[in-house]
């Protein structure tokens, strides 16, 4: 018996439909699977029903895979694949495997010589990078910034200097409840001529992405409260 495969299935970034976000071929793979490692079970089930209203939820197995998961918690999925079952990872990060806890299962699959099959989907990180006008050949994603404001400001100034020195694009994010605090720190603490890209609600009906100097942003800032936001510092190509 040949081993099963591990598929990385993309999620939406909050949209109610999948047609314009998840490629048809990827959707067809997703609805053929019956075993899933997921960051959030309710969200994963909603995604599968968005793709196919008749998807057999009750005939499928869902196992939680989050930032607290360790290899021993999910080794049973490796055993399942060794017996021929295909498994899908569905994260809350859009494109599975990027800023996503699913990497622990991917790593385990490689260790056990199980074929890993990444699929195409939305990533707010990549959408921000390609929409910013900044360097797309040299970039770093820093994830979430420190919660403490003093530490956060120090981090922001460090990222500003990195972008200025090397031209390397610096990408970072925070929760919808802290996005406005990040924005205020950027506008209050960075130099007037520093370039900042703000990308909010990517792939949604109210998507906005714009690159301006800090001085321009002070005149054109908008409310980012409770929005999904990515930030980038860099130099225009």
Q: Which fold has domain 6-118?
A: Cobalt-precorrin-4 Transmethylase; domain 1 (3.40.1010)
Measure Cα distances from 128 to 50, 101, 134, 193, 198 in Å: 25, 21, 9, 20, 8
Kindly report the pTM of this predicted structure: 0.90
Cα distance between residue 157 and residue 235, in whole Å: 15
Q: What is the pLDDT of residue 2?
A: 87
Structure tokens at 212: 């301006």
Q: What is the pLDDT of residue 1?
A: 67
Q: What is the pLDDT of residue 14?
A: 86
Cα distance between residue 161 and residue 192, in whole Å: 13
Q: What CATH number was assigned to the domain covering residues 124-234?
A: 3.30.950.10
Residue 212, strand partner residues: 196
Cα distance between residue 90 and residue 197, in whole Å: 28
Q: Would you give per-residue pLDDT tens digits along the chain (237 residues)?
A: 689 999 999 999 988 888 888 999 999 999 999 999 999 999 999 999 999 999 999 999 999 999 888 888 899 999 999 999 999 999 888 888 888 888 999 999 999 999 999 999 999 999 999 999 999 999 999 999 999 999 999 999 999 999 999 999 999 999 999 999 999 999 999 999 999 999 999 999 999 999 999 999 999 999 999 999 999 999 987
Both ends of the chain: CA-CA distance in Å?
52
Query: What residues have CB less than 8 Å from 49, skipping those under 6 apart?
Result: 55, 57
Given this chain, do its domains 6-118 and 124-234 carry the same CATH topology?
A: no
Which candidate, 132, 106, 104, 110, places its Cα nearest to that of 118? 106
Cα distance between residue 86 and residue 25, in whole Å: 16
Q: What is the pLDDT of residue 101?
A: 87
Q: What is the pLDDT of residue 190?
A: 98
Q: How many CB atoms lie within 10 A of CB 192?
A: 10
Task: Break the chain into its structural domains and give their ranges.
Answer: 6-118, 124-234
CB 98 within 8 A of CB 89: no
Beta strands of the chain (E only): which ranges? Answer: 6-9, 35-38, 61-64, 87-90, 116-118, 139-144, 169-173, 195-200, 208-213, 229-234
Query: What residues have CB less than 8 Å from 68, skipping those under 6 apart?
Result: none
Q: What is the pLDDT of residue 213?
A: 98
Which candidate, 132, 149, 141, places its Cα nearest to that of 186? 149
């Amino acid at each position: 018996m040949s081993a099963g495969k591990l598929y990385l299935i993309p999620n939406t970034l909050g949209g109610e439909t999948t047609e314009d976000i998840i490629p048809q071929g990827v959707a067809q793979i997703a609805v053929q699977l019956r075993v899933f490692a997921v960051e959030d079970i309710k969200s994963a089930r909603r995604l599968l029903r968005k793709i196919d209203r008749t998807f057999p939820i009750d005939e499928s197995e869902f196992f939680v895979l989050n930032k607290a998961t360790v290899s021993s918690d999910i080794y049973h999925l490796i055993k399942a694949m060794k017996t021929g079952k295909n498994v899908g990872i569905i994260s809350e990060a859009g494109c599975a495997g990027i800023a996503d806890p699913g990497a622990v299962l991917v790593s385990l699959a490689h260790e056990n010589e199980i074929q890993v099959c990444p699929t195409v989907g939305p990533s707010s990180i990549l959408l921000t990078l390609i929409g910013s006008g900044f360097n797309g050949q040299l970039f770093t994603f820093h994830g979430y910034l420190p919660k403490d404001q003093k530490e956060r400001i120090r981090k922001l100034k460090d990222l500003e200097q990195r972008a200025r020195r090397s031209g390397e694009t610096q990408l970072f994010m925070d929760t919808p409840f802290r996005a406005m605090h990040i924005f205020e720190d950027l506008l209050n603490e960075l130099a007037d001529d520093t370039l900042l890209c703000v990308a909010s609600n990517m792939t949604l009906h109210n998507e906005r992405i714009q690159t301006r100097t800090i001085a321009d942003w002070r005149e054109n800032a908008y409310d980012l409260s409770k929005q999904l936001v990515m930030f980038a510092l860099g130099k225009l190509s």
